[in-house]
Structure 1
Amino acid sequence: MMEVYTSDSSDTDSREQKTLDFGRMNLDVVTLEDYLSSPQKALLKSSGDIETMLLNHNRLAALPKSLRQFGNLKVLDLSSNALTMLPDAICQLPLVTLIAKNNLLTNASLPKSLLTKQPNGGGATGTSTLKELNLSGNQLTHFPEQVTDLRQLKYLYVGGNKISTISKDIWKMQSLHVLSLGGNQIIEVPEGVGLLAQLQALVLCDNLIEHLPMSIARLKNLKSLLLHKNRLKHLPKDIVALKNLTELSLRDNPLVVRFVQDMALNPPTLLELAGRIVKSSGQRPGPGDLPRTLIEYLNSANCCVNPNCKGVFFDNRVEHIKFVDFCGKYRVPLLQYLCSSKCIEPEERLRAPSSSNSASSGFMMRKVLLG
């Protein structure tokens, strides 16, 4: 039976009454201050009732002082303005979501602490209400250290900046579900990233990363790992332990370029084709049948490792990495040489029922983006 869900009009009205939408109005800070301080222009709403304020796509170079009067504000969207500073007063608001992407913010532009502060000079309470923080598309040159104090933060977006290093204290953010760092200048990923036990999506694309820490394999809840446009030449072998990983993007890395080039084999020579036919036919020409060099060539044939294939190869071969069970606990990569890409067998785990003795049973990477 199909279930039909209908929204309660009273709930919709309630949300609208708690929202101030000044988005895309071409406002500067003076005009906005005038709107917020004038009850008539603010649609006669009490500042204490407002929970969401949308100020996106305006001309704000700063935030109005009257913003602090909205003591129950939970969602603040400042995206696509010209902000050069986030004042300390913003930490007096009980924000759950702060979106400040596509501005002109630097590391010096951020408050020294992003913890929620008491409004009357009480200082930091030691707690954090923020669960989503978006600072993408700004001018940050290093990972903002004060973010690591936000222990309740679930979604952190700092892509499209100029960040070159990730804080070694990143491990403290144990509530993180999404960590987006794409489009920066990151060279190294610290081991602490592997301690983010709740992480489900890790975006590291379009950086300068040459290798990943082995601790990445500890991210048991990771579903999406975006690594395209980096300098990766290899991956940690233990990455196969990520059983929940369903999306792995690797395109535009040396690892993939070499892999794709190896797959795009040159056509076998006429000598190779003839040699394969002779060997597969079972003929055994003697010294008087062929020149010695051809006899030696035929004797150099290698058998395809696919048990269902009786073919051979000489110089033209297919390299294939197969992950095999080891002692019923680990899966290790094994390099195989095949006579044709058609000889690559599907993994036995995809054909046979799941085995309780194998730690890899049921695991399958469903989406690998190589190009």
Structure 2
Amino acid sequence: MLLLHLDMTKSVMRALYGKSTSLNLSSRKIKVVPTCISRLTNLKILLLNNNSISSLPAELLALQHSLTKLYLYSNRITAVPPDVIRGLQNLVVLNLNHNQIQRLPPEIKSLSRLRHLSVLDNKLEEVPVELGHLTSLTEINLTSNNLSWLPQQLYQCKELTKLHVARNKLTCLPEGIGALAKLQVLDVAGNKLSVFPVEFHLLALGELYYEGNRFVRCEPMASVRDAQVLTLKELAARFVLREDRYRSSRVHMMLPHYPTLTALLADGNCCALCLDPFLATWVECVRFISLKKDMKMRSSKTIPVRALLCSYKCLNTDGHSYYAVATR
């Protein structure tokens, strides 16, 4: 252990006097990061992987103006201190793979230059909505955690080209995924998904991994349903949403004066078939998309993509390819 400590100290001193911009302290059985590391004010790349570190050391704050790449994978980190992560605003790469982290703090939004975030094989149970502030992100890897949902704010990261969320407990992907126009690789294998979100087929994906989920299958069956009765609120909302489409209508001109109503109607959607608007009552459907034909991918398989119809009347019209989702 003494030899390892001396070797580590020598590495730090060489970096200090040589004004090195990178330092490799991986596989040194480090439990506590040496305080002298704070003197390496020119350091851009720091490798602390394969050690026994239990938390992001406060000494990193002294490197906040220079450090761009930080590798802390394969340690024993259980927590990410908010004050430390807040101070590393120049990071471009952050690798926290193979630790025991349960939570990323909201202060992660301070990493405005971050492009690669990897927290593979941890114990994350949720992703902070503040991750949506990291609009420079091009790759996120959250594989092998305990995530049951993803925040819709994730879609604000419009530079994303790779999103890995395999082997979690996701039951759905949030709507709005079409905003990720640059997404090339999506890995959702080993979750509990039943359908892909609306507009999924519009993505220009190059690679899609979706094995090991619980997708609905196309098995036509007889159904029994009650007559569809819309509430007064739904009827009124549909009327307002329709009228709001016309700029010359009185509804369109008056709506800005009622911010509460405007906020409520912001959750409205439109029928995939007739394009009429609706608020909170719809027929849950799927459309089976050919990866090869509809998404220009190599695979010839089909996937279920969620679709919302405004009424059973639309569902019962002929000539469309939508299927109502049955519950058994």
Q: TM-score range by the shorter chain?
A: 0.5 to 0.7
Tell whether 2:169 aligns with 1:208.
yes
Match of 1:162 in 2: 123
**Contact 1:26 1:57 (C-alpha < 8 Å) held by counterparts:** no
State how 1:291-306 maps to structure 2 within 5 Å. none
Match of 1:287 in 2: none
Match of 2:209 in 1: 249
Match of 2:149 in 1: 188
Aligned counterparts of 2:46 and 2:192: Cα–Cα separation in 1: 37
Match of 1:225 in 2: 186
- Report the Cα offset of residue 147 of structure 1: 1.9
Aligned counterparts of 2:162 and 2:39: Cα–Cα separation in 1: 36
Runs of 5+ consecutive residues of structure 2 not aligned to the other structure: 220-271, 275-284, 303-328
- Equivalent residue letter for 1:189: L
**Contact 1:83 1:105 (C-alpha < 8 Å) held by counterparts:** yes
> What is the TM-score of this pair, normalised by structure 1?
0.58
State how 1:237-276 maps to structure 2 within 5 Å. 237-243=198-204, 245-255=205-215, 258=217
**Contact 1:55 1:79 (C-alpha < 8 Å) held by counterparts:** yes
- Report the Cα offset of residue 129 of structure 1: 1.3
**Contact 1:193 1:216 (C-alpha < 8 Å) held by counterparts:** no
Match of 1:114 in 2: 85
Structure 1 residues 95 and 366 mapped into 2: Cα distance closer, same or farther (>3 Å)? farther
- Alpha-carbon deviations, 1:104-145, whole Å to 9, x = none? 0111x535232447xxxxxxxxxx211000011111112232
Tell whether 2:115 aligns with 1:144.
no
Of 85-94 and 197-206, more deviation after overlay is shown by 85-94
Runs of 5+ consecutive residues of structure 1 not aligned to the other structure: 1-24, 118-127, 263-324, 337-343, 348-359
Identity of aligned residues (%): 25
> What is the TM-score of this pair, normalised by structure 2?
0.65
Aligned counterparts of 2:182 and 2:146: Cα–Cα separation in 1: 26
- Equivalent residue letter for 2:296: M
* Cα root mean square deviation, aligned: 3.1
Match of 2:50 in 1: 80
Structure 1 residues 364 and 79 mapped into 2: Cα distance closer, same or farther (>3 Å)? same
Tell whether 2:135 aligns with 1:174.
yes
- Report the Cα offset of residue 335 of structure 1: 6.0
Aligned counterparts of 2:300 and 2:127: Cα–Cα separation in 1: 26
Aligned counterparts of 2:94 and 2:189: Cα–Cα separation in 1: 24
1:35 corresponds, among 1, 5, 10, to 10
**Contact 2:8 2:25 (C-alpha < 8 Å) held by counterparts:** no
State how 1:352-363 maps to structure 2 within 5 Å. none
The 3-state SS of whatever aligns with 1:147 is helix
**Contact 2:116 2:137 (C-alpha < 8 Å) held by counterparts:** yes
Structure 1 residues 71 and 251 mapped into 2: Cα distance closer, same or farther (>3 Å)? same
**Contact 1:87 1:111 (C-alpha < 8 Å) held by counterparts:** no
Aligned counterparts of 1:178 and 1:133: Cα–Cα separation in 2: 11
- Equivalent residue letter for 1:247: E
- Equivalent residue letter for 1:246: G
The 3-state SS of whatever aligns with 2:208 is strand
